[in-house]
Structure 1
Amino acid sequence: MERFLKRKERVEIDIDNLRADPGLRPSIWSYDVNDRDRVRRAYLLKGPHQPKNHQFPQTTIRNIARRFNSKWFEDFPVWMEYSIQKDAVFCLYYYLFKPQEEVNTSKGGGDTFVGDGFKNWKRKEKLLSHVGDHNSAHNKARHKCEALMKLQEHSLSFRGHDESSSSNNQGNYVELFQFLANHNEEVRKVTFENTNAKLKLIAPKVQREICASIAAEILAVIMNDIDDSYLTILVDESCDVSTKEQLAIAVRYVDKLGQVIERFIGVTHVTSTNAITLKAAVEALLAKHLLRLPTIRGQGPN
């Protein structure tokens, strides 16, 4: 019984000396669960392994000698990796976030850019096929990589809102605003360059104004991202704590990178829940953000 209860010892990882060659790396899932994100961040910070000055060997494909072309790195600079050991191309994103259930499949997850790697130098179009559309395995993995790095950046830059009795950051909207000011020129101009630096800005009215300014800046970024694209609206009706009827409205659209984005854009109170009143409230909120009705499209179950 003791041998079944015995835990596997956690192996210490030298994060600064991870294997560079993608053909020699162990599966990301072979690392301890508490180490995986550290390993992922380390690889993302280093960037893809691209030995541009390597003498790439030739391979005979249908009686024609071919080899990997280092110029492909320029076309796919953020994810393409080359393994000297296997003379093959790999995908950094998919290595880091390949679904665990695919690790032991015979087809290497159904993608030649993991496992043994891609080495058909005659078929460059397969590189674009691997990237695929916004919902491809490659792009799903890319989104996870980007989210991981943003999470790390935010955790280092902003401690967040903590209501615990031992916290020194209870309701600290000023710190949140300072964080936004460090990342947004307009936010900095609006307040911190026109305010006495010694003021604590803790009055309820001031903090409400700060939150309103933050909301305005965030909405401006969202509207700029939407531009004149087609979009779908999502509307939810409910009561607030004072039992007043209100509508919460979000938008769904495809950004310039082909990613499906959902963003909350506001809440509006309504006097009744009849169809005419709800329609007028929705139109008013959309008009407030200069969103045109002709750009709205219906969305079916698929």
Structure 2
Amino acid sequence: MADDEKIEDLDTNDLKRVDISNLNHNIEIELTTTTEDDVKKSVNNQAAETDISEKYRDPGVTNISAYQLLLAKYSPYQPENCDFVKCNNRRFRKEWYVSNKWLEYSPTKNAAFCFYCRAFPHQNAEAAFITAGFKAWHKATATFASHNNSVTHKEASAKVIGLRSSFDTGSIATATNTYHKTVVIKNRSYLKCIIETLLFCARQGIAIRGHDESNSSKNKGNFLELLYLRSKDNVLLHEYFVENKNHYRYISATYTNAIFNIMAQQVLLNIINSIKEAGIFSILVDETQDLSRHEQVSFIIRLLTTQFPP
């Protein structure tokens, strides 16, 4: 890609956010990095930030949904030290937790639920494991095995595994957003190196372009030669400028002229602000002819600042 083409991931308006202060003495260049807001999960604050009491984790209580509990990294509610009430001379057995990791028990309703199916309910899922609760303890072993092999339960289980995996590795959207931010930061850091090099050449009053800037040239001009010199101890500059991994370098006359125009505007703005701050100033105008007999006019502004520089 040519240097003059539009480059993705680096807004050309970044050039307009260059701050050049105190050009006569200390010069600092700062690129404003405005990143996008981080993607926030829609997690209930009570579930995500505070410890949830046992009664609110009870699947028979509907104050907090299973999905919110899952986002808050809670597991199925499996109390062991509660009174399992008999129903038709049968009661819930806590040994069922071992073979059914998804199983929940509600002391309030004396019923069993499926934590995974409650977190990701399906329209064809068994209502007994989502809302009503399962109580037929004499059929528990067979019913639990049947539910474990159902299509809707397997689909919910896959979603739970995927969500839990995203807690450690991050979601695809989060990974993409993180990569984009990294690319933008590196691009702006490289652009800062280009601007610093141009600013050095401008302050020293040396020529920017070379007579021959081809790859075979032994002297490509002050600007490019200085970039090659800096790339020896600047990894990012070596990667972007020398190796040209991203296929753009911002070294063409189009970009350098744009940067110089912004610098000139910033210098003029600094002078105007200094005059306004001083309040009292004088203007000296002088002119002279060059070799082509064109009049060259110079404006000299004298003022006194509160710093009293020498």
TM-score per shorter chain, which class?
Answer: 0.3 to 0.5
TM-score of the superposed pair, with normalisation by structure 1: 0.41
Max radius of gyration: which structure? 2
